[in-house]
Homo-oligomer: A and B are copies of this chain.
Amino acid sequence: MSGTLYGLGLGPGDPELLTLKAYRILQSAPVIAWPAPDTGPSFARTIAASHLPGGQVEIPIVMPMRTERFPARDVYDRVSVEIAAHLDAGRDVAVLCEGDPFFYGSFMYLFERLAPRYRTEVVPGVSSMMAAASAAGRPLAARNDGLSVLPGPLCDDELTNRINLADAVAIIKIGRHFKRLRALIEKMNLLAQAVYVERVTLGAERLMPLADVPEDTAPYFSMILIYKGGEDWVHSLPGSKA
């Protein structure tokens, strides 16, 4: 009998924000796979580290960070073959995923290659978006608010139209788009209603009004929350310079 492929949501970073289910599977899976950039450690592997019993087979999914998209396809093809061999031999394989596997997660690339052939289970996790709202101390959306989740690489026109129609906004995948995004939000007169959150739930967490961020770039694990009508509150955030 073939093994089961798990897409394991590990939550936003704090190892205590793993689910009991993810914990159980981490403790028992004989094989784990985890994404890592070719420039540094795996964030997913770091979240899981204290929960691993030791002795598992580990499959790094190393992504080239400085090249075009196509090599990523080769990496997923190659890793899928490696994972399939373990599944064929009856061994369960848990793929470690930051946050939630199906909320902008890279697990989808392994899922589309392997789920048609193997029993697959996706274990949802706490998203960094929810954790960011908890850290900010303000509901992200309530009552009949419409919430828009928007990736930073979208162009200014697309972002403007969608932000205009939403009551609350979470902008993800900021990175090198940070400067442009902040300028756009300022142009839309929403700067005073925007919160910047970086590395949420980790020791290095930073949270402050977007207007007060001194840098012109942001790391991958960061997010902008726009609370329309929330000026008064954003100015009173602990990280505020106001």
Interface residues of A (CB under 8 A from B): 7, 9, 11-12, 14-21, 23-24, 100-105, 108, 111, 115, 120, 122-127, 130-131, 133-134, 137-151, 153-154, 158, 161-162, 165-166, 173
Whole-angstrom CA separation of A20 from B101 in the bound complex: 18
Q: How many copies of this chain are found per oligomer?
A: 2
CB distance from A233 to the nearest CB of B (A): 11
Q: Could you say which residues of chain B place their CB within 8 Å of the CB of A9?
A: 126, 130
- Neighbouring B residues of A150 by C-beta, 8 Å: 146
The smallest beta-carbon distance between A9 and chain B, in angstroms, is 7
Contact A139 B105, CB 8 Å, known A126-B124, A130-B127, A146-B149: yes
Among A100, A108, A140: residue with most chain B CB under 10 A: A100
Which residues does chain B contribute within 8 Å of A122, judged by CB atoms?
133-134, 137
A165 engages B154 (CB within 8 Å): no
Q: Give the shortest distance, in Å, between A110 (CB) and chain B (any CB).
A: 12
